[in-house]
Structure 1
Amino acid sequence: MDIKELGYKFSLSPLILRLTLVACLLLFTCTPAGGQYRVIGSNQPIEAAPGDDVVLPCCVDPPQDVVGLTVEWSKPDLRPDPRDRLSRVHYVHLYRDAREVPDMKIPSYMMRTALFAEGLRQGNISLKITNVTLEDGGRYRCFIPKLKSQMQSSIVHLVVKPAPTKAGTTETPLFTRNLQTPDPEEEKNNSGDFPRRSRLMLPLLFLLIVVGVAAGYLQMQRSKKTKEPIAVPTV
């Protein structure tokens, strides 16, 4: 290797160094930072019946103390009141300055919502709603506006269905997979000539009658034999 070739290689080294630095910077900016906070809600609908108490799950991941942050629960599908131009957000529950702010709350949710005070230190911002009504169904948005993250909010869907029980009861099972419905064929048999059980019992009854007649006949034959005089042999 002569001096010219060596000088040419060393002259390219600053350019290669710059390109490598730019590539590293692009790779760093395109890769999401590990441990970035995000708000996560339930990806499955929450089901409840009128009168139930329900919890809408929502939390910060990884866990972070949010006691000093603002937490907003709202219903994004509600239309703003045209008479109140300043009312753009319908707050189901508003937590600010380490306390609830009821002044900007939807009236129908008064005294029915609460956060878990101890859970806020671990990033748990789940909302509890008591005495659920049919009007409570819909989408709910949990939002932390000052969270240092690009995912500051999440959507939780609440489904409220009438309870399939007797009137006056308030608690119903959330899962109805074990509830049995009558078989249409069985209902047809019950309303027709004979149910299935009756048709199955007819052969059994006939068999019992045959066995009874046979047993009676054998018993009669035995009784006849016992009544006949025994012949005494003559000497």
Structure 2
Amino acid sequence: MDVAEFRCSVSLSALKLTFMLLFALSPVEGQLHVVGSPQPIVAAPGDDVILPCHMEPKFNVVGLTVEWSRPDRNMEYVHLYRHNREMTYIGRTALFTDGLREGNISLRITNVTQEDEGRYRCFVPKLKSQTKSSIVHLIVAKTVTTETPLHPETLQTPNLAEEFHSKGGMTRRSRLIPLVVFGFFLLLCVAVAGGWFIESKRRKTELASATS
């Protein structure tokens, strides 16, 4: 094997290893979880409110079905997202469609009433995971004291990146990517050094043969 073939072989091996590691670190559906708010969401009548729910780790759900229902009221659907279309069953609900690619399946309810109080279930039926759903509890109280008002002008789509970070939340992939890059760089260095060593040895051999 000459120097060029050796360099090509080492470079291909390094690329294969990098792709294998990146593939192993990318999230698969079996590792996903549907996560809702562990604390009740409190709102006053007439407020707009967000029922938080997201995929952990982040996962694109644009091509999946997302169902919001009320199990305590035997309501099969409150809001349904299917085939890239939204259907609201109470006329005052919406998803953050721009956030679906990041796994944000939170539900926004406008002008809440006392009848809206209760348990809500966010469910991704076609998700290949043991945790396909989560329950969010909404409390509608006449007097609400919160540090952050729930009026429409203050509502924002939940920032999942900040939420993950606050939980100590770098994902396994984000922690290991620098190691993958470093390993790939190290393999390239070894390939270059090996090629230089073989080339140097070959030249010394040729020089010795020429002078003998």
Normalising by structure 1, we get a TM-score of: 0.49
1:151 equivalent among 127, 131, 142: 131
Rounded Cα–Cα distance in structure 1 between residues aligned with 2:65 and 2:52: 17
Shift of residue 35, structure 1, vs aligned partner: 7.2
Rounded Cα–Cα distance in structure 2 between residues aligned with 1:155 and 1:122: 20
Partner of 2:173: none
Larger strand fraction of residues: 2
1:93 equivalent among 69, 73, 79: 79
Task: Provide Cα deviations, 1:97-150, integer angstroms capped at 9, x if missing partner.
Answer: 011134xx2xxx21x110001110000000000001011000000000011101
Contact conserved, 1:35 with 1:62, CA < 8 A, in 2?
no
Q: Which structure has the larger Rg over C-alpha atoms?
A: 1
1:174 equivalent among 120, 124, 146: 146
1:39 equivalent among 18, 30, 34: 34
Task: Provide Cα deviations, 1:42-69, integer angstroms capped at 9, x if missing partner.
Answer: 0000000000000000001110000110
Rounded Cα–Cα distance in structure 2 between residues aligned with 1:115 and 1:124: 9
Show structure 1 runs of 5+ residues with no match. Answer: 1-32, 80-88, 164-171, 177-235
Aligned-pair RMSD on alpha carbons? Answer: 2.1
Shift of residue 175, structure 1, vs aligned partner: 5.2
Structural mapping, 1:130-145, within 5 Å: 130-145=110-125
Contact conserved, 2:44 with 2:112, CA < 8 A, in 1?
yes
Shift of residue 34, structure 1, vs aligned partner: 10
How many pairs are equivalent?
Answer: 121
Contact conserved, 2:69 with 2:121, CA < 8 A, in 1?
yes
Rounded Cα–Cα distance in structure 2 between residues aligned with 1:101 and 1:116: 13
Show structure 2 runs of 5+ residues with no match. Answer: 1-27, 149-212
Task: Provide Cα deviations, 1:6-57, integer angstroms capped at 9, x if missing partner.
Answer: xxxxxxxxxxxxxxxxxxxxxxxxxxx9970010000000000000000000
| Identity across matched positions, percent | 64
Question: Measured at CA, do residues 34 and 121 of structure 1 come closer, stay the same or move farther in structure 2, by a change above 3 Å?
Answer: closer
Asked whether 1:64 is paired with 2:59, we answer yes
Structural mapping, 1:115-126, within 5 Å: 115-126=95-106
Larger RCO (CA within 8 A; separation ≥ 6): 2
Shift of residue 174, structure 1, vs aligned partner: 2.7
Normalising by structure 2, we get a TM-score of: 0.54
3-state secondary structure, aligned to 1:44? coil
Rounded Cα–Cα distance in structure 2 between residues aligned with 1:101 and 1:127: 12
Question: Measured at CA, do residues 55 and 65 of structure 1 come closer, stay the same or move farther in structure 2, by a change above 3 Å?
Answer: same
Rounded Cα–Cα distance in structure 1 between residues aligned with 2:29 and 2:47: 40
3-state secondary structure, aligned to 2:71? coil
Aligned residue type for 1:90: E
Larger helix fraction of residues: 2
Give 4+ residue runs of structure 1 displaced > 4 Å after superposition: none
Contact conserved, 1:48 with 1:174, CA < 8 A, in 2?
no
Rounded Cα–Cα distance in structure 1 between residues aligned with 2:72 and 2:59: 29
Task: Provide Cα deviations, 1:203-229, integer angstroms capped at 9, x if missing partner.
Answer: xxxxxxxxxxxxxxxxxxxxxxxxxxx
3-state secondary structure, aligned to 1:90? strand
